[in-house]
Amino acid sequence: MAARRAARRVAPERLRIGLLGISLVVAWTLLGFRLFEVQVVRASDYAEMGRGQRTTRKVLAPDRGTIFDRSGEPLAMTVEAETLYAVPSLLTDSVYATQMVSAYTGKAVEPMRAAIAKGGNFAYLARQIDPEIVQLVLDLHLDGVFAVKEPKRVYPAASIASHVVGFVDIDGKGLEGLEYEYDQHLTGTPGEVEFERDASGTPIPQGELKEIPAVPGDDVVTTIDLPLQFAASDACSRAMVASSAKGCWIVVLNAETGEILAMAGAPTFDPVSRESANGGTFTNFAVRGMYEPGSTQKLVTMATALDTGTFRPSDVVTDVPDQLEINAGACKSATDEVYGCYRDAKKHETHNMTVQEIFSFSSNVGTIKLSQRLPKGALTDYMERFGLGSITGVDFSGEASGAVRIDPGCSTCLASAAIGYSVAVTPLQMAAAYAAIANDGVWTQPHLTSATVDVNGRLSDFVPQTHRVVKAETAWTIRQMLSDVVLEGTGTAAQIPGYRVGGKTGTAEKLVNGVYTNQNIASFVGMAPIDDPKIVVAVVIDEPSFATRYGGLSAAPPFAEVMEAALHRLGVAPSGTEQ
């Protein structure tokens, strides 16, 4: 009996072994299931998680495209530079570090300290610095100061072409000029690199590496001729000084193609620093600024008179006085309460004048008499044909459309428009209008770029729009009349030895807040050589001194200077026949 009970009892040692065995079986079974889940069921998920922990991605910034002049000279380009930054938590002496960085780079200390004070793991100290200077700073072994490569936009032509080329912000985004207009072309497409790294961030040798290269931005080839741009900019600056003017603008057009060979203004600015310039200085007045053209508008009035067959240059207009009263009492009103008094620049006896003489000597009264005999609506129609009151479509942002105000119910608007008032234009519009006469009556859309070039060398050419404005015979006649203006009229200062030149002076009182002031806008627009014009040059002087207020005095001399340079640049030989 006792032996049977002992046989039924299980020894504790054997029980423990059995339980341990069962536990091991269960554990191995669970482990097997877990391994099966990890290595088979969810293997791809865990592999991706692991790869994500040891890999990193970085965006590869594309190289911004280069802006060239017509001969391949760079106007804007990107160069290698480096940026100094700090990790605030690693700085042992931020005061000393920022002082040293400032001393080597010339950057102000205050912005550096303000960036550091914000905390975080990154603070800019000095961006886009010459690599040699950056290395000098790194050689100081300043705790917490590091460097990273960051490209920089530079402008080899400096201020000479700043109003055309424009500029970018610190991150390379176009803000003004062609940099803004063609920003999407110039920017390119960012790339990406993905690589495996260890816990310290160091790339793992033989590790996985994937790279999508950045696609560089397109290059932009402009129509600008850099030497001619320099000549125009220099002439503008000196004209400002000579006439004590507020500003000067010069546009040089290829009369046949509409290419803008130069577009310069003064005062100018440095496109990199921009520290000494105000916002108004950045504005390209040649495209965005509007002014009343005064007597340069008489080209459109005269073209209307001839093209409609209303007059011929030899026709005589009888009894032209030196002042004309549209509204009764206008010329006797001392306070301008009654509008409608028009006067010639110089007093003269009432006399007969040919149409050519009216144009050559810029008679306001004679021109108004011509306009009064034009077909109804003709002047407005021809202004629109010449592009006044509408944008030219130049490839430049913010172009002003100008304005033409000839209200049928306005007693003075037609007379004012005939002599360049009640009309607002841009310097580029006037240059394009004169280019239509130079180009045998065909208006051609002005443009600043000839092509964009992608990374594969494919060209996208600019194709300008064209339309006929006047008959070719009318354009030829107008050119001869313009030549007489320079030969014996108000534009004698525009003469160029060895070339026949034609052009028209303009002098208009400046309208400020709806009131005419004693300040003037003086201008001269002309072409050469007159028998087969290649070039049109427009010069606008803002607020010249009283002594030089007329376009023939302040604007004609820089016109002659720039026109001569343009003719030489295009290889136009002197004809031997001077004015």
What amino acid positions are annotated as catalytic residues? 295
Q: Give the other-Cβ count within 10 Å of 258's Cβ.
A: 24
- Tokens for 365, please give them: 């009264």
- Tokens for 563, please give them: 């026109």
CA distances from 436 to 254, 278, 442 (A): 11, 35, 5
CA-atom Rg of the chain in angstroms? 37
- Contact call for residues 506 and 297 (beta carbons, < 8 A): yes
Task: Name residue, tokens 């180009």.
Answer: 439
- Contact call for residues 105 and 129 (beta carbons, < 8 A): yes
* Cα–Cα distance measured from residue 528 to residue 577, given in angstroms and rounded to the nearest whole number: 12
Identify the bridge partners of residue 425 per DSSP, sorted by sequence position.
291
Q: Find the helix or strand (DSSP H, E) in which 180 lies.
A: helix 177-181
CB-side neighbour CA atoms (13 Å) of 405:
14
> What are the CB-based long-range contacts (under 8 Å, 24+) for 459-467?
462/395, 464/257, 464/258, 465/393, 466/442, 467/385, 467/442, 467/443
Identify the bridge partners of residue 195 per DSSP, sorted by sequence position.
56, 209
**Single-letter residue type at 241:** V
Closest by CA to 539, choosing from 268, 280, 159, 264, is: 264
Q: Find the helix or strand (DSSP H, E) in which 318 lies.
A: strand 316-320
**Single-letter residue type at 81:** A
φ/ψ (deg, to 5) at 280? -65, -30
